[in-house]
Structure formats: structure tokens, C-alpha cells
Chains A and B, each alone.
Chain A
Amino acid sequence: MTLNHEEKAGIMSIKDKVIEIIAEQAVLEPSDVTMESTLEDLGIDSLGLVESIFAIEEAFDITVPFNANEPEQSDFDISSVAAIIGGIEKLVSEQAA
């Protein structure tokens, strides 16, 4: 699959927006949030996680399938910032389809 320029820009902005949301929650600069960071590394606790997901849902108008009771069972991978961004990109593209 090849992406045109606009689609690439859209995906870049998803990444930047998610990082911005996570950084705000962690009270860090976006530049301090790397793709390899875990939420734990960033000091985001369980309440911080649900608040981040809320902000992401609001920003992209999507529903993130995440249940705080069983994060491992969720379809949504939160093991790293890269995984979260990947999941959001997939949800946004599914919604667009």
C-alpha cells in the first residue's frame, strides 16, 4: 500500500497529537516522549492512562477499546508510545474507511 502526501501528513499529525496528549498528562515536553517510552517510564498511572485515552478519543473522535480491568485482554496495545500511536492510527483509518 502506498500513501499519498496528504495521508502521510495525516499520520504524522496523529503521532504528534498523541505525543502531545501523553506529554501533557506526564507534565513533560513532547520532545521528552520517545516512541520506545512506556507509560510507566513517563510516570503515567492508571488514572493518567484513562484520562489520556479520554483526551485521545476527544481529539480524534474515535472509541478506544480499552478496559482498565483487563488491559492485557484489550484489543488496544499500550505497552509503549509506539504501540499506542499504531493503535490510534489503525482506529482512525478504520473510521475513515
Chain B
Amino acid sequence: MKKLKPLSRLLIALSALILISAYFVPLWQIVMWAPQYPEGLTMKIWIDNITGDVNIISALNHYIGMRHIEVSMFPEFGYMIYIVGFVIGFGLLVSILNRRFMLIAYALLLMACGIGALVDFYLWGYDYGHNLDPTAAIIVPGMAYQPPVIGTKQLLNFTAFSGPDIGGWIFMVSAALAIGVLIVEIYLSRKKI
């Protein structure tokens, strides 16, 4: 039963606690620029909601047969608050119970959440970009409009960017803290041996 350094416990608690901010700031953002939208159209994804120029984006996308983006499209919004809550609780538990194997589990959990979110986002994007209304006014043969998972992509006249927003960055900092603490712990314990 390997125990953790006090500083490590503190940092893990911090890693868990900063995730609380995920309930109050947007996690992800999609920005789209077009010649006639030099200021960009922004869509912000929160833990349980979507905000920003969603209606404008939907109105534009309907010409090419994409569905109207609505909260009800995302069952994730129903349970994400619980997942994040569980992650926070687990992190605090690691800090309190002071067990290294639990820290490993916590780090893995954080990474799994990140990867899981990206995969989930990709699957949604694929469906949203490919599953088009066959009666759409503009049909460009062979063209699909899947948004980028991360980074930028040209979609007809729009340049679309997808990337983490404040919450996403905090999530990454949280994961970096957990993984960093784990690496340092392993490094120090090997040095002892």
C-alpha cells in the first residue's frame, strides 16, 4: 500500500476541485468564419447546454440539409454533470484515502474522460455532417460537412475551428496535475529503491 506525499495529496485535491469550474464555464468552442462573417460565428458547449450563435449557424446549415442544432440532440447533457461530479468526488477520495493505486485509477479516469469526450464528439460530428436532408436546396455531390474534432477545416465558404474553451483548458490542467503527480510519485519511489 504505497502512500502519497502530502504535497501530492494537496495537488490531487486541487486537480479535483478546479473541475468544479466545469459547471460554470464553457468546455468547448466551435468558431466559424466566412467572407460574410468576418467577426465569426461562435458556438460554446457547456456541461449541460449549448450557447452562442447556434440559431444563426443552424439557419445557414439548413441550406445544405444539416439538422437544427438543439440541446435535445445531446443525451450527454443529461449525465455529464454526474460524470464530472463522480470524477471530482473520486479525486477528493484519492486525496483523503491516500493510496497510490487510487491515484493511478484517477489519472486513467481523467484520460478516459478526455478521450471518451473526443470520441463522442467525433461520432456526433460524423452523424451531423453526413446525415443530411436529401431535399436540401444545395447538394454538392460527394461533400460532407463533418466539423473538425480539433483544429481548423474548410467547409464550403466557412472556415471552421474546433477547440477547448476555458473549461476544457481547466480539465486539461486537472489531468496534467494528476498525471504529473503520478509521474513524480513513481519517480521518487523508484529512487528510494
Question: Do A and B assemble together?
Answer: no
Write the residues of chain A forming the contact surface with B, with a CB cutoff of 8 angstroms: none
